Amino acid sequence: MSYDVVIVGASVSGNIAAYECAKRGLKTLVIERSDPMKGYRIKPCGGGLSQIAIDEFPQTEEFVIHKTRDLVNRYQDIELISSVPIYMTNRNELDLGMADMALGEGAEYRFGTSWSPDGDYESDWLIGAGGVTCPVAAGLSYKRDRVPVKVAYFNDPKWNMADESEFMFYDGFQGYGWIFPKVDFIDIGLGGIDTGKRVKELYHQYLASHGHTGKPQWHAGWQIPMTWYPDQKPIQGNTILCGDAGNFVNPATGEGILLAMRSGRQAAMVIAGELEADDYPTFAPHLGRVQKMRDEIDDIGVGEFFEMGQRDKKFFDEVVEFMFLEKPPPKLKHRSEDEKIAMYRNLLADSVQ
């Protein structure tokens, strides 16, 4: 069979790409190795959406089961609360809901089929949206790191319905633990740029600190590609990488759903001639800036950063909003020289006024 576009992976990036391609009249086939008729895979995920994700993709709001108003950032006994809402979804419902939308626009799906370059389909364009282990990205020798992440569901009456989410930070660890309230349970996880052994140790420490030492309702380990390599090309010939396959994850927060959807939409725009291939993805410069700030905070030390945040909460909030909400980076005018030097040694020089 011949198609305009074949898409590998029916998750957030692949489904949005399929919806946007089919909407533009392109003959579209999606190939997904798991099968909803035989117990669809559970995607290990926090399922948290930012305000930007909701604003840019209003169709996701239908899948929101709960919203937390504030984000509690913790380090040892320091607690800094930021007004950053997080919208909770159930990932399988979100993913399948988006597949439904694409089907509604005329995209074809083959579930329960692993993609192979020798499959009985040919196409002008190939979109690799198969996540962190995407075979299309592997075929392009696309470089990625794989940050270990662990996640579990627990019934926690104190937190199930909370209007706060929590992020917990540790010394010398580029990552965090999180609690996302999901109404009937909490999604509690931890991941970071470190060895699997360290992540496991910190994860058990984190679970124990919330009294969760028993058997969870469900648990899994997976990976997030949290390093952005700016020199790699996510479009090569007529192959486009989307979502985790293209390393499109916020390098500080690990937020990937928004960028998966954005890249899926932008891939369709490239194919339709609405976006230059060289400009894909348009959010790449932001990934580079966030990564620099993440590394800078790591150099300073997370403890020092939280102490700085206690002294100057406005500054802390500006950093959080830059990382989570894509707001402009903090201005330096009213910072002390020491803070400027520490925070911005090489960083964001072009934003300094």
Ligand X SMILES: Cc1cc2nc3c(=O)[nH]c(=O)nc-3n(C[C@H](O)[C@H](O)[C@H](O)COP(=O)(O)OP(=O)(O)OC[C@H]3O[C@@H](n4cnc5c(N)ncnc54)[C@H](O)[C@@H]3O)c2cc1C
Residues within the interface to ligand X (CB under 6 A): 8-14, 31-34, 41, 43-48, 114-115, 129-131, 133-135, 149, 151, 189, 222, 224, 243-245, 249, 254-258, 260
In the complex, the smallest distance separating the C-beta of residue 172 from ligand X, rounded to whole angstroms, is 21
In the complex, the smallest distance separating the C-beta of residue 320 from ligand X, rounded to whole angstroms, is 16
Helix (H/G/I), strand (E/B), else coil: 269: helix
When the beta carbons of 93 and 304 are compared against ligand X, the nearer one is 93
CB 6 within 8 A of CB 14: no
Burial class (CB in 10 A: 0-12, 13-18, 19+), 311: exposed
Minimal CA–CA distance to 177: which of 164, 186, 168, 185?
168
Single-letter amino acid, residue 18: A
Instruction: Print burial letters for 41-59: b (CB count within 10 Å at least 16), e (below 16).
Output: eebbbbbbbbbebbeebee
Tally: H helices and E strands in the chain: 10, 16
In the complex, the smallest distance separating the C-beta of residue 253 from ligand X, rounded to whole angstroms, is 8
For the chain, the first-to-last Cα distance in angstroms comes to 57
When the beta carbons of 249 and 320 are compared against ligand X, the nearer one is 249
When the beta carbons of 5 and 8 are compared against ligand X, the nearer one is 8
When the beta carbons of 54 and 332 are compared against ligand X, the nearer one is 54
In the complex, the smallest distance separating the C-beta of residue 180 from ligand X, rounded to whole angstroms, is 6
Strands (E), 64-192: 64-68, 70-75, 78-82, 86-89, 108-111, 122-128, 147-154, 164-169, 175-181, 186-192
Closest residue to ligand X in the complex (CB)? 256
Q: Which two tokens stand for residue 194?
A: 């470190």
In the complex, the smallest distance separating the C-beta of residue 289 from ligand X, rounded to whole angstroms, is 18
In the complex, the smallest distance separating the C-beta of residue 297 from ligand X, rounded to whole angstroms, is 20
In the complex, the smallest distance separating the C-beta of residue 311 from ligand X, rounded to whole angstroms, is 30
When the beta carbons of 74 and 315 are compared against ligand X, the nearer one is 74
When the beta carbons of 13 and 123 are compared against ligand X, the nearer one is 13
Q: How far apart are alpha carbons 271 and 175 in whole angstroms?
A: 35
In the complex, the smallest distance separating the C-beta of residue 345 from ligand X, rounded to whole angstroms, is 29
Q: CA–CA distance from 350 to each of 100, 211, 299, 328, 329 (Å)?
A: 44, 46, 20, 12, 11
Specify the DSSP class assigned to residue 150.
E
Specify the DSSP class assigned to residue 328.
P
Tell me the Ramachandran region of residue 40: left when phi exceeds 0, alpha when psi lies from -120 to 50, beta otherwise.
beta
When the beta carbons of 20 and 32 are compared against ligand X, the nearer one is 32
When the beta carbons of 258 and 267 are compared against ligand X, the nearer one is 258
